[in-house]
Chains A and B, each alone.
Chain A
Amino acid sequence: MKQILIDPITRLEGHGKIAIFLNDKGNVENAYMQIPELRGFERFAQGRRAEDMPQITSRICGVCPVAHHFAATKALDDAFNVEPTPVAKKLRELMYCGYYIYDHILHFYYLGGPDFVVGPDAPAAKRNVLGVIEKAGVEIGKEVIKHRAYGQKITAMLGGKATHPVCGLPGGVSKGLNKDEVKEIETMTKSCIDFAKFSLKIFDDFVLANKAYVDFILSDPYQLATYNMGLVDKNNKINFYDGDVRITNQEGDEHIKFKANEYHKIIGEHVEEWTYIKFPFIKDVGWNGFTDGKKSGHSRVGPLGRLNASEGMATPLADKEFKRFYETLGGKPVNSTLAFHWARLIELLYATERVMELVKDPQITSDKIRNPVGEPGEGFGVVEAARGTLFHHYKLDKDGLIDKANLIVATVNNAGAINMSIRNAAMGLIKDGKVNDGLLNMVEMAFRAYDPCFGCATHTLPGQMPMEVKIYNNKKQLYKIIRQNM
């Protein structure tokens, strides 16, 4: 007999839509968030010149163009059988860390931070960057603007516009650095290192010094014991631009380590009827529904996933913070979703230190920035986007045109975990059919921690994400709707 899908479990459309299902006692059974998946990319890409992919894919998303740009460039290195020159790799990584600087600053001060600095109970209208400045002072606001701009400038010096980079070519980059630019980057980066340290101090003063907040971070609704995934270097330290993909388990031990081109061997994709998203899971663990724990193949990516999947940071100050992070939060792995915010600041510090290392490298002004390409074939590229692991996979025909293209983006890698985090937050706030007033806020905090990217549609004016939570009873009848910005 054909299975009939009962409304409302049809494919959810629009963004920011959350459906919460209650059981017969009026408690939360399940919750789902619609993350709009942009469709038709494969068909769109087919027949285009492969060299255009770094520019085309950087347009996919207004928030992570640099990540797509380099995932594509690396896939082209592989597809054209060419190893970039050593200095080209360093220049790419330098530019990439510039992107982390502005992206992580933006998230902490504008998006994630306000919930903590202003307070999770503050009215929605205050929980934004303006509220942060009201509380922390105008001078801090100026520093935020300045250092975000520095990150963008570092990116732009190599890539043209930070929002639309042109830099990566198979086998290398299109532009190197001269001595004046090196000096300028050094000056900006020195200031960025201090600012990253200062940001960690803000986190200390406003969050860690407040026992109620620490308890909140460690509270049950915000715990999720999935596997963790991220790129690591040969010493298992975090690297944003290059390395192997490492997955660690609930004890913090390595489960598996693999190269980008083994992705399909290691990671499966699970299809649900209500969404176009294919949920990635670790194949040898298996799909076990939306559950966490060792028997369920979900893994988390992004700042917390990366910290948990690594054995430290490759720069001294960030590594010290890494150790303090685990000492404070009770050892490795940390499963608190809200710890993403702290992890993000530790990564900010790493990005600034790493730019300094790279820019002081005597080789950095070399003009050997590109190697000649080979014959076209198949290629895989992987980078750590600010919000998690990003894969590009292309098959080229003999003329170097795209035959097949597939992308697995960070938010999709986190999609299962985001749903579970929303469900767990909702569970704490809906009891016996009674919906607590703080529901929307707590649910928002649960998914905001991941810094999810909802595709490129979010820049249509007026530029706000409408949010709608629909709560259904055990007969799947609509019980309550909570809306914001709709």
Chain B
Amino acid sequence: MKTIVLGVGNPILRDDGVGIHVARKIKEKINNPNVVVDEAITGGMNLLDLMTGYDKAILIDAVNIKNENVGEVLSFPLSSLSTTHSDNPHDASLMEALELSKKLGQENIPKEIIVVGIVLKEIPYIFGEELSPEIAKAVPRAIDLTLNEIKRDMNLR
């Protein structure tokens, strides 16, 4: 079983890059040929391309979820996010891309996609590589949840 762990976000847009900060730490902790850790400064179709060929994908990303506190970390299957229509101005949404590949009979997409989401309320519009204190505090928990998620299927204990 091959797993890909992707930090999703923009590493030069402050808190938006939190997923990438977490992925870099995971990369230091994991040494297993069946687990690949990478950075994805992209979304939608391009994101799906990066996951193709793996059995399982773990996406670490900033998420905006109503009624959750900033800095909260949640892990959930991607399928529990709802989507209706791609209003993303350029690129299809990841869900749309997934639905498309299923419809076209593409077989090598991951059977399981898990999101480790760090709750963010506002996407920063100022360049920078540092995380805000409340998001930085969430990083250790995001690392733990991601490692648990990796180990759950891999018996790496």
CB distance from A139 to the nearest CB of B (A): 9
Contact of A460 among B63, B96, B104 (CB under 8 A): B63
Q: B126 interface residue, CB < 8 Å from A?
A: yes
B117–A461 contact, CB under 8 A?
yes
Contact of B94 among A38, A44, A56, A463 (CB under 8 A): A463
B90–A59 contact, CB under 8 A?
no
A463–B88 contact, CB under 8 A?
yes
A459–B43 contact, CB under 8 A?
yes
Of A93-101, A191-199, A449-457, the stretch lying at the interface with chain B is A449-457
B90–A111 contact, CB under 8 A?
yes
- Of residues 96 through 134 on chain B, the ones whose CB sits less than 8 Å from some CB of chain A are 96, 99-101, 103-104, 106, 115, 117, 120, 123, 125-128
- Of residues 32 through 79 on chain B, the ones whose CB sits less than 8 Å from some CB of chain A are 40-47, 49, 59, 61-64
By beta carbon, the residue of chain B nearest A459 is B43
Count class of interface residues, chain B? 35 or more
Contact residues in B for A465 (Cβ distance below 8 Å) = 87-89
B123–A457 contact, CB under 8 A?
yes
- Of residues 430 through 474 on chain A, the ones whose CB sits less than 8 Å from some CB of chain B are 444, 448, 451-467
Contact residues in A for B63 (Cβ distance below 8 Å) = 460-462
B125–A464 contact, CB under 8 A?
no
Of A127-135, A203-211, A242-250, A280-288, the stretch lying at the interface with chain B is A127-135
Q: B95 interface residue, CB < 8 Å from A?
A: yes
Contact of B84 among A149, A164, A453, A485 (CB under 8 A): A485
Q: A12 interface residue, CB < 8 Å from B?
A: no
Contact of A128 among B12, B46, B96 (CB under 8 A): B96
B16–A456 contact, CB under 8 A?
yes
B8–A461 contact, CB under 8 A?
yes
Q: Are A460 and B86 also in contact (CB < 8 A) when A138-B103, A142-B104, A145-B104 are?
A: no
B99–A130 contact, CB under 8 A?
yes
By beta carbon, the residue of chain A nearest B11 is A59
CB distance from B121 to the nearest CB of A (A): 11
Q: B146 interface residue, CB < 8 Å from A?
A: no
A36–B45 contact, CB under 8 A?
no
Contact residues in B for A149 (Cβ distance below 8 Å) = 49
A110–B127 contact, CB under 8 A?
no
User: Could you give, for residues 1-24 of chain B, a 1 whenever the CB lies within 8 Å of some chain A CB and a 0 otherwise?
Assistant: 000000011111100100000000
B120–A448 contact, CB under 8 A?
no
- Of residues 110 through 133 on chain A, the ones whose CB sits less than 8 Å from some CB of chain B are 110-111, 124-125, 127-130, 133
Contact residues in B for A133 (Cβ distance below 8 Å) = 100, 103-104
Contact residues in A for B16 (Cβ distance below 8 Å) = 456-457, 460
Contact residues in B for A44 (Cβ distance below 8 Å) = 12, 127-128
Q: A30 interface residue, CB < 8 Å from B?
A: no
User: Could you give, for residues 47-72 of chain A, a 1 whenever the CB lies within 8 Å of some chain B CB and a 0 otherwise?
Assistant: 00000000010011011010000000
Report Cα–Cα, A145/B91, bound state, in Å: 13
Contact residues in B for A56 (Cβ distance below 8 Å) = 12
B45–A458 contact, CB under 8 A?
no
Contact of A464 among B62, B83, B127 (CB under 8 A): B83
Looking at A41, A111, A142, A152, the one whose CB has the most chain B CB atoms below 10 A away is: A111
Contact residues in B for A128 (Cβ distance below 8 Å) = 85-86, 92, 96
By beta carbon, the residue of chain B nearest A138 is B104
Contact of B49 among A63, A127, A152 (CB under 8 A): A152
Contact residues in B for A43 (Cβ distance below 8 Å) = 127
By beta carbon, the residue of chain B nearest A45 is B127
Contact residues in A for B95 (Cβ distance below 8 Å) = 462-463
Report Cα–Cα, A141/B105, bound state, in Å: 11
Contact residues in A for B106 (Cβ distance below 8 Å) = 145
Contact residues in A for B89 (Cβ distance below 8 Å) = 16, 111, 448, 451-454, 458, 465
Contact residues in B for A459 (Cβ distance below 8 Å) = 8-10, 41-44, 47, 91
Can you list 14 residue pairs at the A/B interface with Cβ under 8 Å? A59-B41, A63-B90, A106-B90, A111-B91, A125-B85, A128-B86, A128-B92, A128-B96, A130-B100, A459-B8, A459-B43, A460-B63, A462-B81, A484-B87
A residues at B contact (CB < 8 Å): 16, 36-41, 43-44, 56, 59-60, 62-63, 65, 106-107, 110-111, 124-125, 127-130, 133, 138, 141-142, 145, 148-149, 152, 162-164, 387, 444, 448, 451-467, 484-485
B residues at A contact (CB < 8 Å): 8-13, 16, 40-47, 49, 59, 61-64, 81-96, 99-101, 103-104, 106, 115, 117, 120, 123, 125-128
Q: A38-B127, A111-B89, A141-B103 given; name 9 further pairs at CB < 8 Å.
A: A36-B125, A62-B46, A110-B96, A111-B90, A128-B85, A162-B46, A460-B62, A461-B64, A484-B85
